[in-house]
């Protein structure tokens, strides 16, 4: 009888293998991708990340590409098909358990990760893991221990989950496990998908940290988070009231520490506001995260007293909402200590704003500043320069109101 090992290879199967190899050969290119940049930064910060997304959205493909780009061996563990002992360790009874104890033997994948010394541990299908398995994963995610084995510092952890509504036999994540992750919601980008199917995917690159900014970034992150929580102490720990929201991002001392770390990394790498928003909201939740971002904006506002001290040299924010807030802060500072010189300096700041930005932002601050005038104060020349601009904006605003009123009457 002829051995199968001696049979010649089927030439059509060999050609099929060649065709598959060509289909799987792709390249990468630098391309702006906020969610990929957020994922890469969180991985660089050595924080566990949980990718949420519908089935087939590309979460696994993104992790495979990320591991390749970063040069990390990828270890994929399907959480839903494992037992709790696969993560907590299997007890092995030795010769003298009363003296030596009962060690918890780790699984093979954990041994291989330790042997490699680095890698990307991908915990897939997390939302279909039973509560008992989720409980066993707590130690893996927090302490990086699998049984008696300590994972090396070079191992990063990323998980993926489907929303319960689209998961097969899905479970909500337990609050203790959910609070240990940075939650990123993965959505497909049409251009990325089309370009990727054509053979070119976005390249995941580690954030470029500036050495000179490291200490400054840490100081800024600590000042921002501590200042915010001092003003909003009720947000230090707030467990959501519903089971679904408890399985996502929510504020706790642990997740605020995560947000602080992300803020420091984002500042040192000078990431965009969009990327920073994804990360902060993924750590502490949408509401607290948006409040922290608003607090960061206020921290960036110029000191109103500095603006009043030297109006001709005043540097005002470029962004419209921040410029408006800076001008309102100037008016509030004058109102807190109303003196003629300060009132006139306030008008000079408004003139500076008119010279360097959109005049429509001056209407509300100008009206508020005019309302602070005392009878004995003469109107400064700066008011005349502003009157025409403010008057035009006022008329335009009333015109819009009339049009809207007319449309409302015609309905």
d(CA 130, CA 83): 9
- Asked if 120 and 66 touch (Cβ cutoff 8 Å), the reply is yes
Q: What percent of the chain has pLDDT over 70?
A: 87
Q: Two tokens at 359?
A: 């005049």
Nearest of 129, 183, 122 to residue 158 by alpha carbon: 122
What is the mean pLDDT of the segment spanning 381-392?
Answer: 69
- Asked if 230 and 203 touch (Cβ cutoff 8 Å), the reply is no
Question: Can you give the pLDDT at residue 355?
Answer: 87
pTM, 2 dp: 0.76
Q: How confident is the model at residue 403 (pLDDT cuts 50, 70, 90)?
A: very low
d(CA 239, CA 236): 10
Quote the mean pLDDT of the chain.
Answer: 85
Q: What percent of the chain has pLDDT over 90?
A: 38
> Among the residues of 117-189, which ranges form H helices?
131-143, 175-178
Backbone angles phi, psi at 373, to 5 degrees: -65, 135
Task: State whether the Cα torsion 210-212-215-221 is positive or negative.
Answer: negative
What is the mean pLDDT of the segment spanning 188-209?
Answer: 86
Per-residue pLDDT of 277-325, as tens digits, reads 999 999 999 999 999 998 898 887 888 899 999 989 888 988 888 888 8
Q: Two tokens at 15?
A: 């050609």
């Amino acid at each position: 009888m002829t051995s199968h090992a001696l049979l010649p290879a089927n030439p059509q199967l060999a050609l099929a293998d060649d065709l598959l190899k060509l289909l799987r050969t792709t390249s990468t290119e630098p391309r702006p991708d906020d969610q990929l940049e957020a994922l890469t930064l969180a991985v660089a910060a050595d924080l566990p990340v949980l990718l949420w997304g519908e089935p087939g959205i590309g979460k696994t493909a993104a992790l495979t590409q990320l591991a390749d780009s970063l040069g990390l061996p990828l270890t994929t563990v399907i959480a839903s098909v494992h037992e709790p002992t696969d993560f907590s360790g299997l007890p092995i009874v030795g010769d003298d358990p009363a003296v030596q104890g009962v060690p918890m033997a780790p699984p093979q994948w954990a041994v291989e990760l330790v042997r490699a010394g680095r890698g990307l541990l991908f915990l897939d299908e997390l939302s279909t893991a039973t509560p008992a398995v989720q409980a066993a994963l707590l130690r893996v995610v927090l302490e990086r221990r699998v049984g008696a084995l300590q994972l090396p510092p070079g191992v990063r952890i990323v998980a993926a989950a489907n929303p319960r509504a689209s998961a097969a036999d899905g479970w909500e994540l337990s609050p203790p496990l959910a609070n240990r992750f940075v939650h990123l919601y993965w959505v497909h980008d049409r251009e990325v998908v089309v370009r990727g199917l054509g053979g070119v995917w976005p390249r995941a690159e580690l954030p470029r940290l500036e050495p000179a900014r490291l200490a400054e970034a840490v100081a800024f992150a600590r000042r921002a988070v501590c200042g915010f929580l001092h003003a909003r102490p009720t947000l230090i720990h707030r467990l959501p009231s519903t089971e679904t929201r408890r399985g996502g991002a929510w504020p706790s001392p642990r997740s605020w520490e995560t947000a602080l770390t992300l803020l420091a990394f984002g500042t040192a790498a000078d990431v965009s506001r969009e990327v920073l928003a994804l990360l902060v909201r993924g750590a502490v939740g949408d509401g607290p995260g948006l409040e922290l971002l608003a607090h960061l904006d206020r921290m960036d506002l110029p000191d109103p007293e500095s603006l009043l001290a030297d109006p001709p040299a005043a540097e005002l924010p470029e962004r419209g909402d921040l410029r408006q807030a800076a001008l309102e802060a100037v008016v509030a500072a004058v109102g807190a200590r109303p003196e003629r010189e300060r009132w006139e300096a306030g008008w000079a700041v408004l003139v500076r704003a008119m010279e360097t930005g959109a005049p429509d932002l001056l209407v509300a601050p100008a009206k508020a500043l005019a309302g602070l005038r005392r009878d004995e104060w003469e109107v400064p020349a700066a008011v005349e320069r502003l009157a025409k601009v403010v008057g035009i904006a006022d008329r335009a605003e009333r015109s819009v109101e009339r049009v809207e009123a007319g449309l409302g009457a015609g309905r």
